[in-house]
Amino acid sequence: MSRDLPLRISITREPDSAGLPLPVYATGDSAGMDLFAACEENVVLHPGDRTLVTTGLRIAIPSGYEGQIRPRSGLALKHGIACLNSPGTIDADYRGIVRVILANLGHEPYVIHRGDRIAQLVIAPVTRVEWQEMDELPATERGDGGFGHTG
């Protein structure tokens, strides 16, 4: 598929997302599309708490792709709001409502309002693997060094 042609993905709205934007790229080179909270009432997220926020959207990701739910850097830096299970994966065969698990890692309560940008959605190709079991792996210079072994 040419990079010049957009990948077409079917999307439907639940009634609670009426009037909200569909996922949208903030800039021409943004990798992720902003997702919007479709909560009917404000949600107060206290420090240490987590909640599931609906977008009110269902999407049909084509086979060979996945949706990745990622945090918004501004929410993380300014308020300590993180997406748990990050990146969250939306499989190609999932047709349920897209929801985002948000956690408040900050020190102050955070209020989520209807229409707030709460996360990003990245659509990415999926590589399928076939395991080839071996008695021994090919050697590398690094070997089994990990967890800070290079300083």
Give the pLDDT score at 142: 86
What is the total count of domains within the chain?
Answer: 1
Distances (CA, A) of 66 to 15, 23, 28, 39, 56: 25, 15, 21, 25, 19
Judge whether 130 lies within some domain.
Answer: no
Judge whether 4 lies within some domain.
Answer: no
Judge whether 69 lies within some domain.
Answer: yes
Tell me which residue range forms the domain holding 114. Answer: 10-125
Judge whether 83 lies within some domain.
Answer: yes
DSSP secondary structure string, 2-42? -TTSPPP-EEEE-GGGTTSPPSEESSTT-SSEEEE---SS-
Give the pLDDT score at 16: 96
Give the pLDDT score at 3: 63
Give the pLDDT score at 110: 98
Whether this prediction's pTM lies above 0.85 is answered by yes
Please state the rounded mean pLDDT for residues 30-58. Answer: 98
